[in-house]
Structure 1
Amino acid sequence: MRTPARAGVLAVAFSAALLTAPAAHATAPGDNGTVKIHDASTGEEQRRNEPHVCTFYLDGFGFDAGQQVDWHIEVWAPTAGTKGETVLSDTLTLDASGHGRTEDLSLPDGHYKLFWNFDGEKGSAKHKVFWTDCEETAAPAAPSGSSSASPSAGAEAAASPSAASSSAAPAAEPAAEATPQGGSGDLAETGNGAPVGLLAGAAAALLAAGGFLLFRRRGSRA
């Protein structure tokens, strides 16, 4: 009589344990989420992984509400350096939807591995390998010593010679025209406009006429 009763009690207890176990497991933290590497320009809502980035951030999805995350990034082969050396690390508390992201991060060009540890994880941490390569995305630098003037400005200057000539120094004034007397044209004339040569000739003719008259007068007296 006692044996069947004891067996019944054990069966009831075992059934109750089976019914309560799923509920307890559902409330415990889990590792059903995922983490992605995102370029800094990628929106947080995107769930794709980007293994080649320059500036980047870590983006976690689908974890339990409020889970605490401890993450770190290590140097990974073939990048030169000590494998396993931690180069970045921090903590992150996820929001009520199990989502969270870090601030924008940067590392020298190379190969790295992310380790994402959190409360309630089972087994190994979430992890991602990725490359940083900023040289390919950098804009080419302008050559030193290049002129800042635009080609169109040079073309306009060449097309309008008047503009170029207006900026040159004014031409020198032409020299005054020389006259046969050795002076300028203005100095070769008197106040009444008669040439000096004509006046001198008239004076010589008058002097000769006076001399001739004086000579005839003396001859008539003799």
Structure 2
Amino acid sequence: MRTLSRAGVLSAVAAAAFLAAPLAHATAPGDNGTVKIHDATTGEELRKNEPHVCTFYLDAFGFDAAQEVDWHIEAWAPTADVKGETVKSGEITLDADGHGRTDDLSLPDGHYKLFWNFDGENGAAKHKVFWTDCEDEGEPGGGTTSTPSASASVSPSTSASAPASDAASPAASGSPAASPSPQGGTGGDLAETGSGAPVGLLSGLAAALVAAGGYLVVRRRKA
């Protein structure tokens, strides 16, 4: 019985040690954090990785307090012609909670790999592979703005302001306008009177009467 009891205790201790070992390794100081690629519009509190971005930043979680990090980004196949070409680099000191983010970053459209190095890292640097693609990002609303048709700016035709009929204008007919006569007819002919007698004949008779009267006055005075 004692032998079985001791064997059971030893087995339980061994199993607990076996399960605790990976956990202790995972939470070992200096290498217990993670880094994410975030689109510039993503909140830094979100622990998600975004491998397709335009403008972006690096967001770190769960590292040691005040952890100092050196990072660099390399162009990666198929974008890179030569493997290992560093296209951007920097450094950052994380806060008391082991969290921190870089400023917003941008790269030409292509494929890249982030390398995240710090004191106490276990083996290789932490890394993330991602793509940048800004070609398809347009302004809000999209589409093209239509311009007014050229015909819309044409001023109204001059014929629109012209009289409705040229025949209504006296000047258009080519003949002077007739003015009403004192007798109510269509006058304008001063050589005629209401009886139709020529004015010249009446003038001659009047002159003859005046001359005859003058002759009679002179003769009477002589008598």
Shorter-chain TM range is 0.5 to 0.7
Q: Relative to 1, partners in 2 of residues 1:176 and 1:57: Cα closer, same or farther, differing over 3 Å?
A: same
Code of the residue aligned with 1:206 in structure 2: it is L
Matched ranges for 1:190-205 at <5 A: 195=188, 196-199=190-193, 201-204=197-200
Residue identity over aligned pairs, in percent, reads: 60
Q: Relative to 1, partners in 2 of residues 1:171 and 1:205: Cα closer, same or farther, differing over 3 Å?
A: same
Segments of structure 2 that go 5 or more residues without pairing to the other structure are: 1-24, 207-223
Say if 2:178 is the partner of 1:176.
no
Segments of structure 1 that go 5 or more residues without pairing to the other structure are: 1-24, 158-163, 211-222
- Once residues 184 and 47 of structure 1 are traced to their aligned partners in structure 2, the CA distance between those partners, rounded to angstroms, is 96
Q: Relative to 1, partners in 2 of residues 1:137 and 1:206: Cα closer, same or farther, differing over 3 Å?
A: same
Please give the root-mean-square deviation of Cα atoms over the aligned residues, in Å.
4.1
TM-score (norm 1): 0.62
- Superposed CA offset, 1:119-156 (max 9, x none): 2111110000000011122345637xx51x49xxx7xx
* Residue aligning to 2:59: 59
- Once residues 171 and 159 of structure 2 are traced to their aligned partners in structure 1, the CA distance between those partners, rounded to angstroms, is 26
- Once residues 169 and 125 of structure 1 are traced to their aligned partners in structure 2, the CA distance between those partners, rounded to angstroms, is 81
Q: Relative to 1, partners in 2 of residues 1:29 and 1:178: Cα closer, same or farther, differing over 3 Å?
A: closer
* Residue aligning to 1:122: 122
Is this contact kept in 1: 2:191–2:199, CA < 8 A? no
Q: How many residues align?
A: 170
Is this contact kept in 1: 2:74–2:113, CA < 8 A? yes
TM-score (norm 2): 0.62
- Once residues 48 and 79 of structure 1 are traced to their aligned partners in structure 2, the CA distance between those partners, rounded to angstroms, is 25
* Residue aligning to 1:99: 99
Tell me, what secondary structure is at the counterpart of 2:162? coil
- Superposed CA offset, 1:59-105 (max 9, x none): 00000000000000000001143211000000000000000000000
Is this contact kept in 1: 2:170–2:176, CA < 8 A? no
